[in-house]
Structure 1
Amino acid sequence: MRLLNIRTASLLLLLSLGCPAQAIVVVVNKQNPIDSLSKTQIIDIFMGRYKTFPNGSSAYPLDRISGSSEKQQFYQELVNKSEAKINTYWSRLLFSGRASPPSSFKTNDEMLAELKGSQQAIGYVLESEVDDSLKVVYRFGE
């Protein structure tokens, strides 16, 4: 009986810790000539400071749906801000007319289809979602 209690307690402890977040990576279409980007360059594109990749070609940033765990994790890792703070940032920029936020998609499949179909698109996905039509240009923590 005591062994069962230890196993049960161990299982409950593991469940309470939760699953670690999956790795988020920044990707572009495989045909995009960009091979890598710095974190600063990604911040500049996703925060509306630049509308082009470093080589001068247009950059079209794509965002996950509001409230998604991927979106929250991405902005936390990118600029150490919550989604609410990001929304406030974009509200100020929209009001001033200086920039527009990245395009947001209702489903992950829609965003992935856009990434796979456009050489100008840049987005963030779970590492497990990367296939041979996408190219990873940035990994957080490297």
Structure 2
Amino acid sequence: MGRSLKALTLLILSLVSPSGSTQVFLIAHESAEIASLTRNEARLFFTMRLKNWPNGTLTKVYVLNDNHELHRRFANEILGLYPYQLRRVWDRQLFSGTGQIPITVTNEQEMLDRLQSTPGAVGYLSHKIEHSALRVIEVQ
């Protein structure tokens, strides 16, 4: 029942919000123990250059598909990058063997599920979430 209620909530939010006014929130698992990041720090996490939270917890980065509207908004508004710039960084790291790439999820519900269940997880959603295992991180 809990999953279907979450899915229904996400569906209602997507129908109520016009696509142009969707907000983007940086969300992390509570184990991150952090309330805010600078834009540069957020960029470093999502380009896979920072691998641990300040408390030492290993990060797990989750993103949506490059063509997903929320991913494009996140890259532009939060990171100050274009999605193709992120993809270039990830591809370079992957093909050169010097780093890893984020885990791609198919939709916001999967993102929410992964963020809740994975210590160190970080990702983004189109709405604030009230859940004891998650925290909204302010990007300055």
TM-score, length basis structure 2 = 0.75
**1:39, 1:138 within 8 Å by CA — same for their partners in 2?**
no
CA shift, 1:122, in A, is 0.7
Q: 1:31 and 1:127, CA in 2 relative to 1: closer, same or farther beyond 3 A? A: same
Cα offsets for 1:54-112 (capped at 9, x unmatched): 22211111101231101001111234332223222221121221212211011221111
Cα offsets for 1:20-43 (capped at 9, x unmatched): 332211111235422322222211
Q: What letter matches 2:138 in structure 1?
A: Y
Unaligned 5+ runs, structure 2: 1-17
Q: What letter matches 2:109 in structure 1?
A: D
* Greater CA drift, 111-120 or 26-35: 26-35
How many residues were matched structurally?
122
For residues 54-93 of structure 1, the aligned pairs below 5 Å read 54-93=54-93
Q: 1:62 and 1:19, CA in 2 relative to 1: closer, same or farther beyond 3 A? A: closer
Could you tell me which residue of structure 1 aligns to residue 108 of structure 2? 108
Q: Greater CA radius of gyration, 1 or 2?
A: 1
Could you tell me which residue of structure 2 aligns to residue 94 of structure 1? 94
Q: Percent identity?
A: 23
**1:30, 1:132 within 8 Å by CA — same for their partners in 2?**
no
RMSD, matched Cα: 2.0
Unaligned 5+ runs, structure 1: 1-17
Q: 1:81 and 1:32, CA in 2 relative to 1: closer, same or farther beyond 3 A? A: closer
